[in-house]
Amino acid sequence: MNNTTTTYSLNTNNLPEDVLSYTDDKFYNFIREVLGQSAADLLNIQTTNNVPSFLLSDDVCDITEHAVEPEEIDVLREKISFAFRYGTYHVKIGIRNNFRYLNKLLSAKLEEENNKKNEIQKKQQQKSIQLHRH
């Protein structure tokens, strides 16, 4: 049996340049555009309102699989989960994978930004050293 590995690239070029600074409505609008209304609602219910909060979340879908009672979660749960007998739920794999991919994409963007900052600092240090030598 062949094991096939699928690779995908994380092209951050299509992300807005300032996406890492999005908060509140701007963040939720971005999520709505990229992943859809239900995904934005799921993050909003949990007050995951910016990129750092999203990246630090282990699994934003977890809340829908637990016996949480608020009506707003029940409505959302019906949209993004499969209901099983005995009252258990499982988030649809497409929803969960979309969040995973976005997490990887935003993490890659954050890494790129950090690398840019490090390069700028290195260049500034090199210039400073050169100025002190002359």
What local confidence, expressed as pLDDT, does residue 17 receive?
Answer: 94
Tokens read off for 37: 């209304």
Phi and psi angles of residue 61, each rounded to the nearest 5 degrees, phi first: -85, -15
DSSP state, residue 134: -
Q: Is the pLDDT of residue 85 over 90?
A: no
pLDDT of residue 68: 66
pLDDT tens-digit map of 7-37: 667 789 999 999 999 999 999 999 999 999 9
Interval 43-60 mean pLDDT: 96
pLDDT surpassing 70 at residue 65: yes
Separation between Cα atoms, residue 100 and residue 94, nearest integer Å: 10
Q: Give the pLDDT confidence of 90-121 residue by residue, as tens digits.
A: 999 999 999 999 999 999 999 999 999 888 88
pLDDT of residue 123: 81
Per cent of the chain over pLDDT 90 is 58
Beta bridge partners of 83: 89
Strand partners, 91: 81
Residue 19 contacts residue 112 (beta carbons within 8 Å): no
Strand ranges in 26-116 using DSSP code E only, listed in sequence order: 81-83, 89-91
User: CA-CA distance, 81 to 92, in Å (whole number)?
Assistant: 5
Q: Does the pLDDT at position 3 exceed 70? A: no
17 exposure class (CB count in 10 Å sphere: 0-12, 13-18, 19+): exposed
By the 8 A CB rule, do 55 and 103 touch? yes
DSSP code of residue 23 = B
